[in-house]
Amino acid sequence: MSALLSDATFFVAIGLAVFIGILVWKKVPGMIGKMLDEKSAAIAKELDDARKLREDAAALLSSYQRKQRDAEREADDILAGARAEAERIQAEARTQTAQVIERRTKLAEQKIAQAELSALAEVKAAAADAAIAAARTIIEKRMGEDEARAYANASLNELRSKLN
């Protein structure tokens, strides 16, 4: 036993046992356990909060992605509508242009026809005047003045009735 009392390891072991006994007697392991439980609960609460924030962020991201898809779909619809409207306006413009060209062509054709009729009437009138003058000259040379006038008047009346 004296060997035990002279050994420092023995006293260290007894001191350690006394120290552990005091710690147990003062309920230090319970306090350490309680502190660890509280810290664990705080960490679990932070993890729950983080999980909820992650879920909220995921929901918000999903919402924004859905809104983006909806906006893209709406933009595509607007673009398609604008293209259709542009095509409709272009077709309408082509139709209107064709109608204007057709009207102007008809108007030009009418003016040409009127000019032709007017020119034809002028040519007929000039030919009739030339024929009358030639006939008058021939008649005057061959007939007497009174006879020629009577014949010329009768011819003029007949020619006028034929031309009209």
Helix or strand or coil: residue 121? Answer: helix
Residues written for the chain: 164
- What six digits make up the tokens of 87? 């095509």
**CA 135 to mean position of chain CA atoms:** 79
C-alpha 61/C-alpha 56 separation (Å) is: 8
Rg (C-alpha) for the chain, rounded Å, is 62
Q: List the pLDDT tens digit at each of the 164 positions of the chain.
A: 566 667 788 888 888 888 888 877 888 778 888 899 899 999 999 999 999 999 999 999 999 999 999 999 999 999 999 999 999 999 999 999 999 999 999 999 999 999 888 888 888 888 878 887 777 777 667 766 777 677 778 877 887 777 65
Residue 143: DSSP 8-state: S
57-60 contacts, C-beta under 8 A, 24 or more apart: none
Q: Distance of CA 29 to CAs 20, 26, 32, Å?
A: 10, 9, 5
pLDDT given at position 32: 83
pLDDT at 164: 59
Predicted model pTM: 0.41
**Structure confidence at residue 144 (pLDDT):** 67
Query: Residue holding tokens 């095509």?
Result: 87
Cα 100 from Cα 111, distance rounded (Å): 16
Two tokens, residue 153: 């008047």
Confidence (pLDDT) at 24: 76
pLDDT of 83 reads: 94
Those residues with Cβ within 8 angstroms of residue 140's Cβ, 6 or more apart along the chain or in another chain = 148
Residue labelled with tokens 């859905």: 66
* Most distant CA atoms of the chain, gap in Å: 196
* Structure confidence at residue 139 (pLDDT): 66
pLDDT at 4: 65
What is the residue type of 27?
K
